Amino acid sequence: MGTVFYPAYNDGAPDKDTERLLARLSKTPGTPFSQMTVKDVRDTFFDKEWLAKPDEGIKINNVFIPAMSGSIRLRVYTPAGEGLFPILLFFHGGGFVVGRVEEFDSFCASIAAGANCLVVSADYRLAPENKFPAQIEDLETVLKWLPVNAKSIGGDRNRIAVAGDSAGGNLAALASIIDRDKGYVGIVHQVLICPWLDISLTERESYKFFGDGIWLSKSTMVWFRDHYINTNEDAKSYPASPIFLENFSGLPPALIIAAELDVLADEGKLFRNKLVSAGVPVQYSLYKGTLHDFITLPLLFSRANDAIEEVCHSLIKHFTL
């Protein structure tokens, strides 16, 4: 029989950190997103006690770049020492609706320190104030700006990788595709962390197993989708859903970090298969017993440190090829 928290799932079980967290959350279930305003969800998306302090050796500053919408803020994390540093362009998660770049300070600083690289976190526009494809417009603006201006922020334009978690994983995958097709950057590596690659919410097995879960449910994904997308037809095609891309050849080598107990787990696996079939090198790492986006919250999940270390090692490898 399945676990207490995921009774339909028989192939694994929560690790100790996950089980402890789910037990605690089950005693004080929160209000469903569908019954909350966007502002209230944004204000409570991350419990402040979950967020670690960023590495003190990392300098954090903001750069504003021109855009058709006015400007886009880039939050830049610079390690100690002299540049020019390789660059990781990062897109944060939050279903395209929530998530503040500051909430990812600790994660980005950890990557900057561990991979000795510049991390540039893009503060892209959020829905529903700015629906699809506003986020892709911001992404492309950053792709155009970054290589031309890399030196001004201490970065090496010839060593640029891209990463993102959840919805940010969608944008990171899109960045690699757009760059392949338009040649803005020459991205050397893509890191996709629990990526949301199918906005249409195709009901794969991972949705059936974990869709009623406490941490990330199908109803929450529906809430995100309905705020982000204009029509269901948009959701069922590329570029909203990178999983439906027709040509995967020529994309940069990928690292895909997946969580076992995640409604999006099957999307990462399917994307891996499509990349491999197209001849793209892929490292796929499934972290057993973990929840969606565990990597960003090391105070809750000890396995986050292992995953962060894996990301850093992969970045170092591809920055030096």
Domain ranges of the chain: 16-319
pLDDT of residue 1: 46
Q: Between the CA atoms of 303, 77, 165 and 280, what dihedral angle is there, to the nearest 10 degrees?
A: -100
Q: Please, which pLDDT band fits residue 186 given cuts at 50, 70 and 90?
A: very high
Residue 314: CB partners within 8 Å, gap ≥ 6? Answer: 189, 191, 255, 283
* CA 135 – CA 152 distance, rounded (Å): 24
Q: Where are the alpha helices (DSSP H) in 45-188?
A: 105-115, 134-149, 167-182
Tokens of 56: 């003190």
Query: Is pLDDT of 155 > 60?
Result: yes
* CA 180 – CA 54 distance, rounded (Å): 33
Residue 149: CB partners within 8 Å, gap ≥ 6? Answer: 65
- Per-residue pLDDT of 249-288, as tens digits, reads 999 999 999 999 999 999 999 999 999 999 999 999 999 9
Q: Is 262 a catalytic residue?
A: yes
What's the mean pLDDT when you consider all of the chain? 95
- Which one from 121, 292, 293, 314 is the annotated catalytic residue? 292
Q: Is 292 a catalytic residue?
A: yes
* CA 259 – CA 166 distance, rounded (Å): 11
> Of all helices (H) and strands (E), which one includes residue 27?
helix 16-27
Q: Is 166 a catalytic residue?
A: yes
Query: Is pLDDT of 82 > 60?
Result: yes
pLDDT of residue 33: 86
| 114 close to 309: Cβ distance less than 8 angstroms | yes
pLDDT of residue 2: 67
Residue 248: CB partners within 8 Å, gap ≥ 6? Answer: 274, 275, 277, 278, 280
What average pLDDT does range 159-175 have in this prediction?
A: 98
- Per-residue pLDDT of 25-49, as tens digits, reads 998 877 888 889 999 999 988 887 8
- Which one from 15, 262, 266, 293 is the annotated catalytic residue? 262
* CA 272 – CA 282 distance, rounded (Å): 7
Query: Is pLDDT of 106 > 50?
Result: yes
pTM: 0.97
**Percent of the chain clearing pLDDT 90 (strictly above):** 87
Q: Which amino acid is at 76?
A: V
pLDDT of residue 46: 83
| CATH dotted code for 16-319 | 3.40.50.1820
* CA 240 – CA 199 distance, rounded (Å): 7
Tokens of 14: 């929560």
- Which one from 110, 166, 176, 314 is the annotated catalytic residue? 166
Q: State the first-to-last Cα distance of the chain, in angstroms, to the nearest integer.
A: 47
SS3 content of the chain, % helix, strand, coil (to 5): 40, 20, 40
Q: Please, which pLDDT band fits residue 3 given cuts at 50, 70 and 90?
A: confident
* φ, ψ dihedrals at 244, nearest 5°: -95, 10
What average pLDDT does range 147-172 have in this prediction?
A: 98
Residue 119: which of 80, 74, 151 has the closest Cα? 74
